[in-house]
Amino acid sequence: MNSQEITTFLESLAKKKERTIVVVDFGNVDKWEKDLGWRVGIQELGRLIKHFAQGNKALRRFYYGSDYGPKERSTTLSLWSAGILNRADMNRFETITKPVKYIHDLFRTDGYEKKCDFDVEMAVDLIRMRDEYDQIVLFSGDGDLIYALRYLKDAFKKTSYVFGARDHVGREVVDASKDGVIQRLLYADDFEYRLNMDRFRGR
């Protein structure tokens, strides 16, 4: 999509802003940097999402882990994790979080693998809140939510749009867009001029 096509697309959704839920799996979005070559900014994300959803803050949902480090009893949140969650809150997202798990892994230099998936939380929230929205905008190229999106379409006529990086989209997502489960598959690559937090730096 070029910038004019994007503008037209956003204008086509304007009348549905109060009945749209936006689900941001930021752990997934953060990984797009490797494929995109640039970082998706939370402030930039918030500005774009205003074109999709306005009004009820609970419909702009931001899922990201709280990292307290490998010590189980630690109560000190890492600066990186705290910064992300604070920026999400400042940009009027409803933040949903839980502690990051540190799993021992002798093959890693630091001895741990970090894990914090929100697939269950996102699926439950989408079903629990189904009376509050008509369409879904999902920021995640992961295919784990396709089962829930298919159910919501078949049972409640919900429409879904999915954002992902071109090289970070699961096969299930692509297949779902072909099958009509997803109304449209959108690529963050095309939205760089709106999402790249570093786009004006060094000029």
184 CB-near residues (< 8 Å, 6+ apart)? 161, 162, 177
CATH 3.40.50.1010 fits 18-195, yes or no: yes
| For residues 149-156, average pLDDT | 98
* Mean pLDDT computed over every residue of the chain: 92
Closest CA to 123 of 90, 158, 91: 158
Residue 203 pLDDT > 70, yes or no? no
**Whole-number pLDDT of residue 97:** 97
User: Which pLDDT score, from 0 to 100, does residue 201 have?
Assistant: 65
pTM here? 0.92
